[in-house]
């Protein structure tokens, strides 16, 4: 085990790993030495770092987290690197390159529990829009020398490549849910994360229903709760950043969007955002696109 930098979150209170025997918290409780705490690693793949920032944004709880685990690998927060194996790995981002594929297998091999965090890691992220596009064309438009790039035709969630113990949704993840996952891990229990829809949270808050009152589209009925119905609380429709809920009835929602007068192209776009690659949203968007193609062919008549 090596600690290359004795500062930052990996070594709370500036105590080096070598020095860290047992030290005391301000309120007198003994903090076990780093070597006695479960090792936490935080990994990044194709992503914007927003979910890792959610962990750093847990200001009030961050010291407690740092004292309960040994933050062994977290480049967003510290240059200190402690070798694996790791008791818990949090993985942000999607798989978009051949190197990613190799790396996620290595991470899985050295992780006890592996939890994916955020829409990129659990559904492929906004970058999964490439799954419906010509990646070679994108490359040739964006890069002067696309021949130097090694990339895959698709952006896929981590679970498409290795076994994942738990998937935490959101773009970004909700910090209270992130702390719940860490607490569950430390106490050896299942995280208490709701799988019902945003509509439930919306009703609990007493919000006026956005599509009913204004005719704006809202993905709340098919989206997993967790954000506290943030968008409807400010009078705008949910755009599904927590991904599909357990039993998402997208057929019914699509009918409602048609009734609201949305053109097929717009409905496809509604399903294809941060969780475009989530199977329920991908299937719903494909069904709308296929239906629109069939209708257009019928209108054209026999060739």
Number of residues that bind ligand SF4 (CB under 6 A): 34
Kindly state whether residue 123 participates in binding ligand SF4, applying the rule CB under 6 A: no
User: What contacts 134, CB < 8 A, 6 or more positions away?
Assistant: none
Taking the least distance from each CB to ligand SF4, the nearer of 78 and 275 is 275
E-assigned strand segments in 29-179: 30-31, 39-44, 70-73, 86-92, 111-117, 166-168
User: What is the C-alpha to C-alpha distance for residues 51 and 32, in angstroms, rounded to an integer?
Assistant: 28
User: What contacts 81, CB < 8 A, 6 or more positions away?
Assistant: 2, 3, 4, 72, 73
Kindly state whether residue 92 participates in binding ligand SF4, applying the rule CB under 6 A: yes
Residue among 156, 207, 254, 285 that touches ligand SF4 (CB under 6 A): 207
User: What is the C-alpha to C-alpha distance for residues 283 and 122, in angstroms, rounded to an integer?
Assistant: 16
User: What is the C-alpha to C-alpha distance for residues 40 and 38, in angstroms, rounded to an integer?
Assistant: 6
Among 81, 171, 96, which residue's Cα sits nearest to residue 133? 96
| Residue 182: strand, helix, or coil | helix
Minimum gap (Å) between residue 119 Cβ and ligand SF4: 4
Binding region for ligand SF4 (CB under 6 A) out of 5-13, 61-69, 155-163, 235-243? 235-243
Kindly state whether residue 253 participates in binding ligand SF4, applying the rule CB under 6 A: no
Minimum gap (Å) between residue 99 Cβ and ligand SF4: 18
Pick out residues in 126-165 that bind ligand SF4 (CB under 6 A): none
Binding region for ligand SF4 (CB under 6 A) out of 29-37, 95-103, 160-168, 210-218? 210-218
Minimum gap (Å) between residue 103 Cβ and ligand SF4: 16
| Residue 34: strand, helix, or coil | helix
Site string for ligand SF4, 2-41 (x = CB under 6 A): ----------------------------------------
Kindly state whether residue 181 participates in binding ligand SF4, applying the rule CB under 6 A: no
Site string for ligand SF4, 273-302 (x = CB under 6 A): -x----------------------------
User: What is the C-alpha to C-alpha distance for residues 299 and 125, in angstroms, rounded to an integer?
Assistant: 35
Is-contact 41 111, C-beta < 8 A?
A: yes
Taking the least distance from each CB to ligand SF4, the nearer of 17 and 167 is 167
Minimum gap (Å) between residue 242 Cβ and ligand SF4: 4
Kindly state whether residue 257 participates in binding ligand SF4, applying the rule CB under 6 A: no
Minimum gap (Å) between residue 198 Cβ and ligand SF4: 4
Among 73, 61, 92, 89, which residue's Cα sits nearest to residue 34? 73
Helix H or strand E segment including 23: strand 23-24
Pick out residues in 44-63 that bind ligand SF4 (CB under 6 A): 47-48, 50-51
Taking the least distance from each CB to ligand SF4, the nearer of 118 and 277 is 118
Sort 113 into a burial class: Cβ within 10 Å, 0-12 / 13-18 / 19+: middle
CB atoms < 10 A from the CB of 249, how many?
14
Chain contacts with ligand SF4 (rule: CB under 6 A): 47-48, 50-51, 92, 118-120, 125, 171-172, 198-199, 202-203, 207, 209-211, 218, 220-221, 223, 227, 229-232, 238-242, 274
């Amino acid at each position: 085990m090596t600690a290359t930098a004795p500062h930052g979150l990996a070594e709370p209170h500036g105590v080096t790993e070598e020095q860290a025997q047992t030290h005391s918290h301000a309120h007198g409780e003994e903090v076990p030495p780093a070597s006695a705490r479960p090792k936490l690693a935080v990994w990044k793949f194709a992503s914007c770092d927003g979910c890792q920032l959610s962990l750093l944004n847990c200001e009030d709880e961050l010291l407690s987290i740092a004292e309960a685990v040994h933050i062994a690998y977290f480049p967003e927060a510290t240059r200190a690197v402690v070798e694996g194996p790791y008791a818990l790995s949090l993985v942000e981002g999607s798989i978009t390159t051949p190197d990613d594929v190799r790396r996620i297998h290595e991470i899985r091999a050295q992780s006890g529990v592996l939890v994916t965090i955020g829409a990129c890691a659990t559904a492929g992220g906004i970058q999964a829009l490439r799954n419906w596009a010509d990646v070679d064309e994108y490359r040739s438009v964006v890069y002067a020398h696309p021949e130097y790039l090694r990339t895959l035709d698709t952006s896929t969630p981590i679970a498409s490549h290795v076994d994942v113990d738990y998937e935490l949704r959101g773009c970004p993840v909700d910090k209270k849910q992130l702390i719940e996952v860490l607490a569950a891990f430390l106490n050896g229990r299942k995280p208490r994360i709701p799988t019902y829809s945003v509509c439930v949270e919306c009703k609990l808050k007493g919000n006026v229903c956005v599509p009913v009152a204004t005719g704006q589209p809202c993905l709340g009925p098919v989206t997993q709760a967790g954000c506290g119905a943030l968008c409807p609380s400010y009078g705008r429709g949910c755009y599904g950043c927590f991904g599909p809920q357990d039993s998402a009835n997208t057929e019914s929602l699509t009918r409602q969007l048609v009734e609201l007068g949305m053109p097929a192209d717009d409905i496809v776009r509604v399903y294809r955002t941060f969780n475009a690659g989530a199977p329920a949203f991908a299937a719903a968007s494909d069904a709308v696109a296929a239906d629109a193609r069939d209708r257009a062919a019928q209108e054209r008549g026999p060739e």
